[in-house]
Amino acid sequence: MEAAAPTKAKAAGLGFIFMTVLLDIMGIGLIIPIMPQLVASFLGGDLSQASRYFGALAACYTAMQFLFSPMLGALSDRYGRKPILLGSLLLTALSYLMLGLAPTLGWIFVARTLSGLGGASLTVASTYIADVSSPETRAQNYGLLGAAFGLGFIIGPALGGFLGGFDHRMPFYVAGALSFLNLLYGLFVVPESHAVENRRPFTWAQANPVSWIGLLRRHPIVMGLAVSMILQGLAQNGLQSNWVLFTTYRFNWTPTENGISLAVVGLSAALVQGGLIRVLLPKLGERRAILFGLALSALAFLAYGLATQGWMMYAIVAVASIGGIAGPAVQGLVSKQVGPDEQGAIQGALTSLMSLTGIVGPIVANQLFAEFTGPSAPVKLPGIAFYLGAVLIALALFNMARLFKRLPAQAPEQAPVSV
């Protein structure tokens, strides 16, 4: 639905959403380059053992998203997007403050759990974009989320490395201050996007973290798309949690080198999601963009695992970033399958579903890394998680191709589709 707000108000809203997601991802980028070594310092420097704890730390963050994304999505359908987004920003700012003050590893777990609750606002951010976009521009505007992800992984590692040179806690204080400033901007400048006539009552059944099963069953096309999203999400979360572990083990990279590599990953993603996608999507269409993107991603995952020199990782990033066009294309396709009164619920369901992959993916991937790099490993295979990721994305590609063959070119959601 095209919102009634003036163009400037829409631009302000999109800018606010961009900054909200950027700050959330930036916080992840701040800690990724140093966290494995930090955890290892509590375990006698054993990187293989630290990988298990690092996976649990990542799971804490995404577990909160899984539990609370449906509730936030449903609350935004009832009370509007703006108050939910502002509350999430407040939690994010507080979590950064806790990280800056953390005296033990336990505090870090608590802070990341609180940050995950604030990060569940991604549900509402996605819904806000659906509110203020036309069906034709939704996929392109969803690319702003991808650009925010990319820039967050540029600014986060770079900011952490620079400010950490003065004080290793300073990056968290700065991130907390930025989150609070964005909160003030949203409070005084950004308009509400969800019209009163489109709001619906809140029920606790909607807050059930597994209620998305019934919701997706009512939308079989979305269910089919969600299958591939699960597979890709497992692969992507495994890669994110294994990147620093893999590069440290195979190439002996330092936290600074890992920070640079993550910044390059973020820059590449930002260029694709914020620019190239606006050229490719109109030419390819959503369906071909999805298939093309998944194929490139599968090849990139395989190449990551086979890389024998550090420079190869940078070359592969270029291919992998172009494959990222699949994500916004899927989101755009999903948003066309439901009405304006269910946008929040469906985005909450999908965010919760992807959060579940963010719990399982890191734990499985890091356990595999530990098993295949430890002293009792049957064979040293540090890239095992990347190989598994390539297989999962190939399955996602097969499922998408199968689903698209069963649908007309512009399919309204009517008859159930077997998945």
16-20, 117-121, 169-173, 372-376: least confident range: 117-121
**Cα–Cα distance between 205 and 402 in angstroms, integer?**
33
- Cα dihedral 277, 351, 348, 17 sign: negative
Query: Which residues contact residue 388 at a Cβ distance below 8 angstroms, ignoring those fewer than 6 apart?
Result: 235, 238, 364, 365, 368
Q: Where are the domains of the chain?
A: 7-190+208-405
3-state DSSP call for residue 368?
A: helix
Taking Cα atoms as reference points, which of 119, 29, 33 lies closest to residue 72? 119
Domain 7-190+208-405 architecture: Up-down Bundle (1.20)
Render 110-173 in DSSP notation, one character per residue. HHHHHHHHHHTTHHHHHHHHHHHS-TTTHHHHHHHHHHHHHHHHHHHHHHHHHHHTT-TTHHHH
Residue 45: CB atoms within 10 Å: 10
pLDDT confidence of residue 236:
93
Distances (CA, A) of 231 to 199, 234, 239, 357: 33, 5, 13, 8
pTM for the predicted model, two decimal places:
0.73
149-153, 253-257, 315-319, 368-372: least confident range: 149-153
Tens digit of each residue's pLDDT (9 = 90 or more) over 75-89: 888 888 888 888 888
Tens digit of each residue's pLDDT (9 = 90 or more) over 27-78: 777 777 777 776 777 777 777 877 888 788 888 887 887 788 778 878 888 8
pLDDT confidence of residue 414:
38
Query: Is the confidence at residue 184, as pLDDT, over 80?
Result: yes
**415, two tokens:** 């008859």
- Percent of the chain at pLDDT > 70 equals 91
Average pLDDT, the chain: 81
pLDDT confidence of residue 262:
85
